[in-house]
Amino acid sequence: MEQNHTKRQIKVTRNSLFEQGYLDEQFSQLEDLQDEANPNFVKEIVTLFFSDSTRLIRNVENALESYPLDFCKLDDYMHQFMGSSSSIGAKKVKNECTQFQECCKAMNADGCIRAFQRVKQEHAVLKRKLEAYFQVSL
Amino acid sequence: MTVEEIRGSDHEIDRFPIGMRVLAVDDNPTCLKLLEGLLRKCQYHVTTTNQAITALNMLRENRNRFDLVISDVYMPDMDGFKLLELVGLEMDLPVIMLSGNGDRNLVMKGVTHGACDYLVKPVRLEELRNIWQHVIRRKVESKSKNNHEKSDQGKEGGDQNEKLNRKRKDEDTDEENGNESDDPTTKKKARVVWSIDLHRKFVAAINQLGIEKAVPKRILDLMNVDGLTRENVASHLQKYRLYLKRISQQANMVVTFGGNDASSYMRMSPLDGLGDFRTLSCSGRLPNATYAPPGMLGRLNSATGVALHSLTAPPLVQPNHTQTKLQPAVSSNHQNVNLFQGIPPSFDLDQRQYCSKPNTQLTDVSSIDESRIFTGTNLAGFSSIDEPRMFRGSSTFTDPISVLANQAGVKLTSTGAESFNDLSDNSGFLDQNGNQPPNFSSNLNLLPLAESYSYPAVINGGFSSNITTAAAPIEPHGGGLVGDIVQNVNRSLPNQKGGTRSKQDYSQYSQNALTTQATTSALAGYGSLSGPVSHSRPNGGRSIPVQTEQIKLQSGFVSNKSYGSLDDIIPGMMKQEQDTTMPMNGEFGYDPYIDPDREYNDESSL
């Protein structure tokens, strides 16, 4: 019974992540890649994402503190962030990164800062949710 | 290597792109991991690195270690395009670019720098499933380059092939490859030409192993040819298997079609016999003239010749034993016709027409004519065939008619073939008319004509009834003659049959035919026919006698079985003829064929 409940819960959690737009189709692809040869593929790659993206966020924060802002560099960072986010299907995070990049292109410092705040926020939310998800599904 | 390994490698080789060795380069760990997962899912062998420089070193260390490189464009230590250039230059490996940015300019840059492909992240599995084509393409290009240059560069390509095969297994093979590639003009590098000798060895190896157990590695070992790779053998084996399949399908068809009596006929008359027939046939007339309808005849001859040969295959001869109906015979003939590979298409068609017609027709004499021709012709061919057969089987010959035609005018008799068909069906032949052609069983409709032909007219010249009627029988013998006769017969038949059948005319023809036929031993069968035929011949009789005699000469076999019945038949045939509209005369369509001297034309169709 508990197991059933857990399974159901997992499913519910997962579905809500999709429904709420935190995850997209790409995440399903990750799940497809998980098989006997790669039993923990999804968890591994998500873990990797978060460790990598945390590092990136730190880099961006540092870059934002310098003056004047190096938009190119920022753009590069965002490019990477975008790459990783899209790879795991982190939809909302990816969208915020796009916004950030727009500001960079526009050389909009304030815009960049604000956009980045949102990126961090979405990133944190997703992390929480996926951690919960994986804990349950483990 | 162990058997398993070998097999495994063979297996891999055979199953390329499975096991293709890919080097993935991306500084983004998440993306790299995803890429790795995707490539593994495609069953490629993946090596990853997040540094372009590392990748380059790995490649430089052993260019044969990888088949394909996938690289991100934006990398901290080196620009992706630069890496692309270097790899292309130094190692001549296919490189696929990867980027989160699908900007057209970037894509263009990638292409101009020599990238095989440019993928945009996130990459999908489907896209990666197809990347192996770049490897093949590169190899093909290299090989052709090799052929031209025989340079080391070329070797790369060839080596790549080697690589594919060997690398999979283990590093050791790399050395082999290396060694082999040292020789610039190693076969490996160059495209393998499967010469006759090589192919012989290949086939010998396969036979030795047994087709089921023939795996490339073993074949390769048995062949013991330097420079030949498993991959070469594997691809060649694949082609060979397809070829075998195709052949067996054809064979099946042949068997299916020709399996019947006809085939037996054919067999009976060995090709040689056919050849004889041909000559016999119609004293020359038939073979070419072949009573077959104008176009057909000509074709028949040739076709028959061919057909005959091919006839051996059942198809032609198929005895239409449908005896009860010519039609069936006809159809079978058709098939036969088709089967005759050797038979010229036109011929086949014609034949078929004949065949079909006659058989089906009998009622339609005209149509039969054609068939008769076949039958007749068949008979001709039958020279070797037993007489009885001739008569009988002829129906099947329909196609063979052409054969027959060649063989002896008999074919023509096909026209009468219809009658023959009936006859050939042997008995079935008469059915139509109500008579049973006695032995017409020989498809030869020709012969049957005489016998079964109910064609009364036909009998005339033996064939005269042409074809439809046994009349033809006489002709068939002659091979050519028969046909002629048949035609004549046919033509005359109408006359005769209807009572108007001018047997006489017919006989004339038949006579001629007979005579010719007589000469043609092909008629052999007919010979006997003639005998009977003559007796029965309604036609002028005068001719008949002649003919019959001749026929006798010719057909030894004809008489056999059915002849005895010929007498019976003839009357029967005559009846049939009467019954059936003996369109034969003109309908046979022999016209064209007919002997120029003859006056077939009197009948209309003639």
Distance from CA of A1 to the nearest CA of B (A): 34
pLDDT (tens digit per residue) in A103-124: 998 988 899 999 999 999 999 9
Residues sharing a CB contact under 8 Å with residue B101, sequence separation 6 or more, in sequence order: A79, B73, B74, B120
pLDDT (tens digit per residue) in B122-157: 888 998 998 888 888 888 887 887 787 665 544 454
Q: Pick B16 or A89 by higher pLDDT.
A: A89
Q: How far apart are CA B491 and CA B606, in angstroms?
A: 6
pLDDT at B239 over 50: yes
Is A29–B125 a contact, with Cβ atoms under 8 angstroms apart? yes
Residue numbers in A near B124 (CB within 8 A): 29
pLDDT at B210 over 80: yes
pLDDT (tens digit per residue) in B460-514: 433 333 333 333 344 444 344 433 443 444 444 444 443 444 444 444 444 444 4
Tell me the Ramachandran region of residue B114: left when phi exceeds 0, alpha when psi lies from -120 to 50, beta otherwise. Answer: left
Q: Pick B73 or B500 by higher pLDDT.
A: B73
Give me the count of residues in chain B.
Answer: 606
Q: 3-class DSSP state for residue B211?
A: coil
Distance from CA of A36 to the nearest CA of B (A): 11
Confidence band, pLDDT 50/70/90 cuts, at residue B257: low
* pLDDT at site B493: 41
* pLDDT at site B139: 81
* pLDDT at site A43: 92
Q: What is the mean pLDDT of residues B323-343?
A: 41
Interior CA angle at B243 toward B239 and B246, to 5°?
140
Residue numbers in A near B29 (CB within 8 A): 48, 52, 84
pLDDT at B16 over 50: yes
Tell me the Ramachandran region of residue B24: left when phi exceeds 0, alpha when psi lies from -120 to 50, beta otherwise. Answer: beta
B contact residues 100-159, partner A, Cβ 8 Å cutoff: 100-101, 121-122, 124-125
CB atoms within 10 A of CB B182: 11
pLDDT at B189 over 50: yes
Element (H, E) at A39: none
Among B320, B514, B522, residue whose Cα is nearest residue B405: B522
Q: 3-class DSSP state for residue B114?
A: coil
Beta bridge partners of B71: B25, B97
Amino acid letter, B119 = L
Residue numbers in B near A44 (CB within 8 A): 33
Residue numbers in B near A40 (CB within 8 A): none
CB atoms within 10 A of CB B358: 52
Tokens at B549, concatenated: 């005699």
Distance from CA of A88 to the nearest CA of B (A): 8
* pLDDT at site B384: 40
* pLDDT at site B28: 92
In which order are the strands placed within the sheet that holds B45-49?
Answer: B45-49, B21-25, B68-72, B95-99, B117-120
B contact residues 30-89, partner A, Cβ 8 Å cutoff: 30-31, 33-34, 37-38, 40-41, 74
Highest mean pLDDT of the ranges A85-94, B79-88, B307-316, B417-426? A85-94
Residues sharing a CB contact under 8 Å with residue A2, sequence separation 6 or more, in sequence order: none
Residue numbers in B near A32 (CB within 8 A): 41, 125
pLDDT at B577 over 70: no
Residue recorded with tokens 């540094």: B51
* pLDDT at site A134: 86
Residue numbers in A near B121 (CB within 8 A): 83, 86-87
Residues sharing a CB contact under 8 Å with residue B426, sequence separation 6 or more, in sequence order: B319, B321, B323, B388, B391, B392, B393, B395, B436, B437, B438, B439, B440, B441, B442, B448, B452, B562
Q: How far apart are CA B605 and CA B599, in angstroms?
A: 11
* pLDDT at site A2: 66
Interior CA angle at A54 toward A52 and A55, to 5°?
65
Confidence band, pLDDT 50/70/90 cuts, at residue B117: very high
A-B Cβ pairs (cutoff 8 Å, strict) = 61
Smallest CA–CA distance from A76 into chain B, residue: B74
φ and ψ of B117, to 5 deg: -160, 160
Q: How far apart are CA B488 and CA B170, in angstroms?
A: 80
Write the residue in B38, B40, B121 that is nearest to A83 by C-beta: B121
Global confidence as pTM: 0.41
